[in-house]
Homo-oligomer: A and B are copies of this chain.
């Protein structure tokens, strides 16, 4: 159980994950690969996703939902999810650099890794909200760093 073969199914799953920037769920991957291999099964998708992760070719991302999401980029990088529509993008590198400098402090735990996940409004939803705002009273405060209350909005799961 350690000599993996590169089957057409596995290759296609990997290709689709590398092509997209959307961080799809398992069933979204299934929909994508079904276009070329119509009789592939969900079991095969799940099994191959797990193997590709074990091989370090893809990663699973921690998006605060019960549907796992997969990423064709296996290297360390961080994500932001729109609380309005659910869209997930990579976070630009430079936004993270100074953060990384500051977490290597020693305390009781030995830190070996971390997940950083941002929430917010994607460009589209931001614009849509700004448009609505013009018809109303302008607000001042930003809800940043406050109670975690409704952190996740109606953004799909």
Contacts and interface: CB of A to CB of B under 8 A. Distances in A.
Copies, count: 2
A89 interface: yes
Contacts of A122: 108-109
A66 B64 contact: no
A112 B99 contact: no
For chain A, the bracket of interface size reads: 35 or more
A116 B115 CA distance: 6
Contacts of A117: 62, 114-117
Interface stretch (A7-15, A21-29, A43-51, A142-150): A142-150
A103 interface: yes
Nearest to A73: B148
Interface of A is mostly: loop
A89 B151 CA distance: 21
A35 B63 CA distance: 34
A80 interface: yes
A111 interface: yes
Nearest to A112: B120
A60 to B, nearest CB: 9
Nearest to A95: B105
A59 B118 CA distance: 17
A121 B111 CA distance: 7
A121 B144 contact: no
A2 to B, nearest CB: 15
